[in-house]
Amino acid sequence: MSGPRLASLAGRPVTIGGLGSYLPGRVLTNEDLAAVLNTSDAWITQRTGIKQRRVAESGASSSDLGIAAARAALSDSGLSPDEIGLVITATISPDRIMPATASRVAYECGCTNAGACDVSAGCTGFVYALSMAAGMVAAGLHDHVLVVGAEVISRVLDWEDRSTAVLFGDGAGAVVVSPVPEAVMTGGRGSGGILGFDLGSDGSGEEILMIPAGGSRLPASCATVEARQHYMQMNGREVYKFAVQVVARSAGRVLEKCGLSVSDVDLFVPHQANLRIIEKAIKKLGIHEDRVYTNLEKYGNTSCASIPLCLTEARAEGRLKNGDLVLLMGFGAGLSWGACLLEWGCGRGAVDERG
Ligand code: UT7
């Protein structure tokens, strides 16, 4: 391997050292939805690319799914749970407003030496949490941080609202962020490592996608329940326009920050909201569809879980090789967005293969 070490992230090099995911077994197809809502498989497929989604069992919460994904990522990393210094859970469907969903995830996973907190940044939450983990590990504040994207969005959807109910699904994915092992530090491409981020937010769009009630702005009351204000509400057309613009812009920015270009990207992993958004954005960016990973036809929009779910499947399918340049792109409520550029080289596996 040759070439300069690529890093816009200062401090020691950090990488994704473990990866895992969890999906509930229950499948809800477009036909199932068409039986109870004024919608059709044709409309959902044509407008979104989604064919089915997973739905958690009644009683299962986001932490339950997150715990399963986190255990898989921990096992993949080869670390013992007590080596984790911090657990961050990104979610739009937390177990409760307080305490943090991450506290239960950390407890149930045996992360006895870890702090725990949640990140709320709409569907961009996973990329935000990853940036915090990467910064902390790079700075030496922690050696290993567990980042979990976990959603049981089916609990915050209005099942009478066809404009949102057909889009989302439940699931969880997790990564362990660790220093790049010394054995694979070649000082050039192929070392593996998180290279940089581009994060942004535009609060003028806060009402375009929200759960209006249940917080301090509009506390829960009989009136908020009657008005169905504890469910997600979205202006789909506005989110669509925002997403197409921001994906191309933010992805371009992170590439520029790291001194790379679109032609260097081996795999683009966008948030899985809508196939049309992805198709339009990659056309703007100039990335060929062969280099784009999608699985939303099977799982719908799993919000903070969508990117780690994609990474897990992409690796299992052999689409992530050590040294590949991977571009992650999240966007969602806030409005918020976040891009991350990384060179794939996953922990123990990377050492075994190269050592
Ligand atoms: O993680 C980020 C979160 N969200 C997103 O990324 C969503 C972004 N937005 C979108 O993906 C798209 O805007 C949607 C898929 C939500 C909607 O697609 P669209 O092409 O923008 O449709 P539209 O909202 O303009 O609605 C077109 C028509 C409307 O009927 P009229 O007014 O033309 O008679 C809707 O009432 O489609 C109707 N419609 C539906 N029809 C059948 C809306 N939802 C449905 C449905 N089934 N499920």
Q: Give the position, in ligand 1's atom list, of the atom nearest the Cα of 123.
A: 1
Mind telling me the catalytic residues?
Answer: 123, 271, 301
> Per-residue confidence at 7, pLDDT binned at 50, 70, 90?
very low
The answer for 27, left when phi > 0, alpha when psi is -120 to 50, beta otherwise, is beta
Return mean pLDDT, the chain.
93
Taking only the tens place, the pLDDT of each residue in 159-197 is: 999 999 999 999 999 999 999 987 655 555 556 699 999
Cα 237 to middle of ligand 1, angstroms: 7
240 lines ligand 1 (CB under 6 A): yes
250 pLDDT exceeds 60?
yes
State residue 325's pLDDT score.
96
Cα 163 to middle of ligand 1, angstroms: 6
Q: Could you tell me which of 335, 308, 327, 306 has the C-alpha nearest to residue 167?
A: 306
Alpha-helix runs per DSSP H in 229-305: 236-257, 275-285, 296-299
47 lines ligand 1 (CB under 6 A): yes
- Structural domain boundaries of the chain? 1-355
> What predicted TM-score, i.e. pTM, was given to this entire model?
0.94
The topology under which CATH files domain 1-355 is: Peroxisomal Thiolase; Chain A, domain 1 (3.40.47)
Cα 166 to middle of ligand 1, angstroms: 10
Alpha-carbon distance of 209 to 220, in angstroms, equals: 19
Taking residue 256's Cβ as centre, other Cβ atoms within 10 Å add up to 13
Alpha-carbon distance of 191 to 233, in angstroms, equals: 43
Characterize 2-33 residue by residue with b for buried, 16 or more Cβ atoms within 10 angstroms of its Cβ, and e for exposed.
eeeebbbbeeebbbbbbbbbbbbeeebebeeb
Structure tokens at 257: 């920050």
Q: What's the whole-number mean pLDDT along residues 242-256?
A: 95
State residue 350's pLDDT score.
44
- Non-local (6+) Cβ contacts of 292 within 8 A are 267, 268, 269, 270, 278, 282
Taking only the tens place, the pLDDT of each residue in 338-353 is: 999 999 986 544 443 3
162 lines ligand 1 (CB under 6 A): yes
Q: Give the position, in ligand 1's atom list, of the atom nearest the Cα of 243.
A: 6
Residue nearest to atom 3 of ligand 1 (CA): 332
